[in-house]
């Protein structure tokens, strides 16, 4: 299955949520232009909704080049180990089991290869993307570590500075927030995210949360959007207060018909009756003419 669209129609948080919740495996390719009109591409490798690698080319050499550039293995030794590595084992995990790389080195590689690259994707103004579930994922680009697409969304949105492209997706200041996940969360939240999550009881508006936490409304909207994007809260539009029954009765009172009339000729009642007959005649005439 191949899915093709652009980020202006299907935002990256929505795309990552779809890939994670669907436990998708495949290759996500994003093509975009820089501010200098330079064309670039990023390939995101996913296994069961988790990001295992991010590369800018598909020659299966990006991770290997990073290892050589850091001087951790010589090209000759690395080439020999790649040839010995089983086809279904990530090269990073294999090198660790063979004693060529330490766990901390793998974490450094993963940070540079995945975490830094993914956060940069959330700054894209627009991009064409294609997700190919039939693509073969090269294990020579994998460290053996992974990150869920949902966690990637939370990280990417935390460091986002320009929210213009997502402005129309932010919750309304007059909307309330409701917790979707009750009890223990599976994601680590920062201090402000935790406080907003705790206040999301379905009746407190974004405006009220901002006032209570002494934060600008825009900051609370962005924080709430992060929680919405990772499935922890939902936006609840607040209904406008309906008019009270007393107010309705006050509006109707001046045109109410009273039967308590001291005049024996009942002029008020006759006036109301004449008005009703005239109104009905006009209404019937209008209905006949409209046929």
Long-range (24+ apart) CB contacts under 8 A made by 71-78 are 72/100, 72/101, 72/105, 73/100, 73/101
Q: What is the pLDDT of residues 46-59, one digit of tens each?
A: 999 999 999 999 89
Q: pLDDT value at position 144?
A: 97
Nearest one of 130, 132, 160, 179 to 29, comparing CA atoms: 130
Percent of the chain with pLDDT over 90: 72
Tens of pLDDT, residue by residue over 96-142, are 999 999 999 999 999 999 999 999 999 998 999 999 999 999 999 99
| Residues 107 and 221 placed together within one structural domain of the fold | no
Low-confidence ranges of the chain (pLDDT < 70): 1, 182-185, 240-291
User: How many domains is the chain partitioned into structurally?
Assistant: 2
User: Under DSSP, is residue 216 helix (H, G, I), strand (E, B) or coil?
Assistant: coil
Q: Strands 128-132 and 2-6: what pairing?
A: antiparallel
The predicted structure's pLDDT at residue 276: 46
Give the bridge partners for 148, in sequence order: 50
Inside any domain, residue 47: yes
Sheet holding 233-236, edge to edge: 201-205, 176-179, 233-236
End position of a domain, from candidates 119, 137, 158:
158
What pTM, to 2 d.p., does this model score?
A: 0.78
| Nearest in space to 194 (alpha carbons), one of 205, 185, 207, 203 | 185
Considering 97, 129, 158, which residue would you say is the last residue of a domain? 158
Same domain, 103 and 230: no
The torsion defined by the Cα of 152, 154, 159 and 165, in degrees rounded to 10, comes to: 100
Predicted pLDDT of residue 275: 42
CATH at 214: 1.10.10
Give the pLDDT score at 281. 53
In a domain, 35, yes or no: yes
- Residue 114 sits in the same domain as residue 73: yes
Kindly state whether residue 241 falls inside one of the protein's structural domains: no
Q: Looking at the structure, do residues 60 and 113 belong to the same domain, yes or no?
A: yes
Residue 106's domain comprises 2-158
- The answer to the question of residue 272 being in a domain is no
Residue 289 pLDDT:
46
Domain match, 210 and 129 both: no
**Would you give the DSSP letter of residue 9?**
T
The answer to whether residue 78 is domain-embedded is: yes
**Any idea what DSSP says for residue 7?**
T
Residue ending a domain, choose from 131, 158, 185:
158
Q: Is 282 within a domain?
A: no
Residue whose C-alpha is closest to residue 223's, from 276, 170, 150: 170
């Amino acid at each position: 299955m191949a899915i093709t669209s652009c980020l202006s129609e299907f935002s990256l948080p929505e795309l990552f949520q779809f890939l994670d919740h669907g436990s998708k495996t495949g290759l996500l390719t994003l093509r975009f232009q820089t501010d200098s009109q330079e064309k670039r591409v990023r390939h995101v490798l996913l296994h069961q909704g988790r990001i295992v690698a991010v590369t800018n080319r598909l020659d299966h050499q990006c991770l290997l080049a990073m290892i050589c550039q850091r001087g951790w293995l010589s090209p000759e030794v690395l080439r020999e180990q790649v040839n010995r590595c089983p086809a279904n084992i990530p090269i990073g995990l294999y090198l660790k089991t063979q004693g060529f790389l330490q766990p901390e080195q793998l974490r450094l590689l993963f940070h540079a290869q995945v975490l830094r690259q993914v956060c940069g994707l959330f700054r894209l103004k627009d991009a064409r993307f294609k997700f190919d579930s039939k693509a073969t994922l090269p294990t020579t680009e994998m460290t053996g570590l992974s990150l869920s697409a949902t966690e990637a969304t939370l990280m990417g949105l935390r460091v986002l500075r320009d929210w213009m492209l997502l402005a129309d997706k932010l919750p309304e200041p007059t909307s309330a927030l409701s917790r979707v996940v009750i009890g223990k969360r599976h994601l680590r939240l920062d201090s402000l995210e935790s406080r907003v999550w705790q206040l999301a009881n379905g009746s407190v508006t974004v405006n009220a949360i901002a006032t209570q936490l002494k934060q600008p409304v825009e900051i609370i909207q962005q924080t709430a959007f992060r929680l919405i994007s990772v499935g922890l809260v939902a936006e609840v539009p607040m209904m406008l207060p309906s008019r009270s029954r007393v107010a309705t009765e006050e509006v109707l009172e001046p045109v109410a018909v009273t039967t308590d009339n001291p005049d024996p000729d009942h002029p008020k009642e006759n006036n109301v009756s004449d008005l009703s007959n005239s109104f009905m005649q006009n209404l019937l005439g209008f209905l006949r003419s409209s046929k």
